[in-house]
Structure 1
Amino acid sequence: MSATLDAAEPFSHPALFYRGAEEYLAGTVPFVEEGLRAGQPVAVAVPGPRLELLRAELGASAGSVRLIDMTVAGRNPGRIIPGVLRAFADSHRDADHVRIIGEPIWAGRSATEYPACAQHEALINLAFTGRPVTILCPYDAIELDPRVLEDAALTHPTVIDNAKSTVSTAYDPGSVIQAYNVPLPRPGPDARHHVILDFDVDNLVQARQVAADIAVRAGLGTAAVGDLEIAVNELAANSVRHGGGRGTLEVWVDTALVCQISDAGRLTDPLAGREPVGLSGNGGRGLLMVNHIADLLRTHTGPDGTTIQARFSL
């Protein structure tokens, strides 16, 4: 059964619980085909194996669909809204309605990544309210942890399960945003190259250099080191501008290279860094840029300040 559109609210965000390839195709292919018959732009952003499954089932119709491997485009959940969902929807603003299948959570997601994934699903509802868009989110009900399905009921107003669409009485995306606003992972006993540096406007160059030196020692390539320097510069500059004029940089290496910046500011916009910023915008580009650069970005904010952790694959 495919998702239906809510006439009262142009934006629709159903979750599709599936068990195996047959249910996956039964829930997604009609959704795509209905959109194509109606002349609506359709995009599919799902993990590679599911993408190929859909491509084969759609046949010649696949050529009319924007196909995106979510394991690449959405490796960092923080870039999915601006770089995948909004990028496609905004390119079709003249359409009566836009359809997207987005599967940001799959069995290979790590426990470190998952909180950012859950928050992403909650934030979609803020980013698209009032837009004539439907985003259908498949969830593997066999492979995923039951807690993931419970969170899906909190972040999606409608749940499709066993070919039946029902209103989610648990729907409360704000609770998910808060539930995963938790202190970020600290360096473990096996962490290497752990460095702490307090910075202000006078030693931003030193902060970049410290991070770059560790990145080189960890084996990152030249291009990746350059990206990391940009990310550290943007985060540190944000601390100077908005976090009380100073902050603390920590860098370490475990399963990834981690750059963490803490300051006394409080991040009040949950969509910060997740929405496209126009050339005439008055800020917000720095965090958006870091989301596009980093392999994972997580944030913890509260009355005592904000900590942002950017992870880069080795």
Structure 2
Amino acid sequence: MDQQTVQGAARQQPDGMVHEGVPYREPALLARELRAPVDRALREGGRVVAVLDDPNRHALEDLLGSAAEAIEWRDPAEVHRVPAFTVATRWARLTRRNPRPEARTTVIAQHLDLPGVDLAHWIRLDAALNVALDGLPVTMLCPCRADADLELLLRVSHPALRVDGQSLPTGTLRDPTELVAEYPPPPPADLGPPVAELAVALDTLPAVRHLVAETAPRAGLDPERTADLVLAVNEIATNSVEHGPGHGRLRLWTRDGLVAEVYDVGRMAVPFPGIVAPPAAGARGRGLWLASELSDVLQVWSDESGTTVRLLAEAGRAG
């Protein structure tokens, strides 16, 4: 492919997702690399959201001047305090809820060092983004400090790299399911003794709903959030009964809101649970999607011992 063809491809703006890694060596160079796509997005009236550390944010603000006031800045520690799949789901929601759906959403989401966030988090996140954002009108730009190892990781998880103002196809993108199989979510953390628990079976589903509704207000959830979580837990418990082994166990914890967990001895082969809505004509798979939409965090772990689905509804968070 000649240089003219590559530049022509870079100027095209597809209707669906653009997911590009942006290797950089210093903030000033990153700012120059980001200027063109940000200018274009703002000129076209698109929504621009940025998650950058302070040096990169200041460099971009200095370069853009007053135009930087139109960017929605997000705190990296706040964005990445939740699991990678949840981050991907939230970017997809933000895109779908764009107040100007006719304009593209542009997200600048830096890969950076954060306490408790390891390299596997970024691999899972980029794999999940390729699934969650597929077909959506969003440009996801992922700045990452350039070194040999990190650039290699960018190449396996991004369809293209943005280098010197050009969008260059990597040709080395790997299947997201394969990446997540190599870098699976960590096992569920031990939350200690639950504040309440109950057997899950067909005849206990009403009691499951009642227990969640009774416990949620004590965890700080308002009536709307309580109703959402009751419905979310009911979807998971019903899945366990109807599509799983037919019985399981519900446990509840009051930690930063209400954590609800359903465990059973069945296996669930869903690499990206709750991230993508099933087809409208489909009769299966809607439970995880609804549970994800109705909670703040959904996590699923499945191995030879069984399947754990954990939901979090945060206290004080709007529905």
TM-score clears 0.5:
yes
2-structure distance, mates of 1:208, 1:108: 37
Give me the TM-score of the superposition, normalised by structure 2: 0.67
Q: 1:210 to 1:151 in 2, by over 3 A?
A: farther
User: How far has the Cα of 1:277 moved from its partner?
Assistant: 5.5
* 1:70-85 paired onto structure 2 within 5 Å: 76-77=86-87, 79-80=89-90, 82-85=92-95
How far residue 187 of structure 1 moved from its aligned partner, in angstroms, is 1.9
Match of 2:142 in 1: 138
Indicate the SS of the match to 1:206: helix
Aligned to 2:4: none
Mapping for residues 17-32 of structure 1, pairs under 5 Å: 17-18=23-24, 21-32=27-38
User: Is 1:298 equivalent to 2:266 in the alignment?
Assistant: no
Q: Is the 8 A contact 1:158 1:166 kept in 2?
A: yes
The partner residue of 1:154 within 147, 156, 167 is 156
Aligned equivalents of 2:253, 2:149: Cα separation in 1: 30
Q: Which moved more, 1:118-127 or 1:274-283?
A: 274-283
CA gap of 1:100–1:192, structure 2 versus 1, over 3 A, is same
Q: Distance in 2 between matches of 1:147 and 1:295?
A: 33
Amino acid of the residue matched to residue 94 of structure 2? V
Please name the residue that 1:43 is paired with. Answer: 47
Shift of 1:302: 4.0
* Conserved 8 A contact 2:195-2:253: yes
Describe the shift of the 1:295–1:5 C-alpha distance in structure 2 as closer, same or farther (beyond 3 A): farther
Aligned residue identity for 1:288? W
**Which structure 2 segments of 5+ residues have no match?**
1-6
CA distance in structure 2 between the partners assigned to 1:155 and 1:5 by the alignment:
22
Cα separation, 1, equivalents of 2:293 and 2:67: 32
Cα deviation digits, residues 19-78 of structure 1 (max 9, x gap): 6653443232311334566x6x74323349889877883746976x8x585878996325
Match in the other structure for 2:230: 229
> Tell me, what secondary structure is at the counterpart of 2:10?
coil
Asked whether the equivalents of residues 260 and 308 of structure 1 are also in contact (C-alpha less than 8 Å), the reply is yes
Runs of 5+ consecutive residues of structure 1 not aligned to the other structure: none
Distance 2:199 2:252 in 1: 12
Please, which of 182, 185, 188 is the counterpart of residue 188 of structure 2? 185
Query: Identity over the aligned pairs, expressed in percent?
Result: 22
CA distance in 2, matches of 1:156, 1:251: 38
| Equivalent residues in 2 for 1:250-265, closer than 5 Å | 250-254=251-255, 257-265=258-266
The residue number in structure 2 matching 1:14 is: 20
Structure 1 residues 229, 217: CA separation in 2 closer, same or farther (over 3 Å shift)? same
In structure 2, the CA distance between the partners of 1:82 and 1:162, relative to structure 1 (3 Å rule), is closer
Q: TM-score with structure 1 length normalisation? A: 0.68
Structure 1: how far apart are the matches of 2:250 and 2:129? Answer: 30
Q: Deviations over 1:224-266 (max 9, x none)?
A: 3333222211211222232232222222345664222223444
Kindly indicate whether the alpha-carbon contact (under 8 Å) linking 2:52 and 2:110 is maintained by their aligned counterparts in 1: no
Instruction: Write out per-residue CA displacement over residues 251-285 of structure 1, whole angstroms, 9 at most, x where no aligned residue.
Output: 23456642222234444443442224676553444
Range moving further from structure 2, 289-298 or 165-174: 165-174
From the CA coordinates, give the structure whose radius of gyration is larger.
2
Deviation at 1:118, TM superposition (A): 4.1
Q: Distance in 1 between matches of 2:184 and 2:267?
A: 12
* Aligned mates of 2:110, 2:229 — CA distance in 1: 24
SS of equivalent residue, structure 2 residue 140: strand
Amino acid in structure 1 at the alignment position of 2:106: I
Root-mean-square deviation over aligned CA pairs: 4.7
Task: Give the equivalent residue in structure 2 for 1:101.
Answer: 107
How many residues in Structure 1 have an aligned counterpart in Structure 2?
Answer: 298
Matches within 5 A, 1:110-129: 110-111=116-117, 118-127=123-132
Deviations 1:6-31 (A, max 9, x none): 89997542112456653443232311
- Mapped contact 2:19–2:140 kept (Cα < 8 A): yes
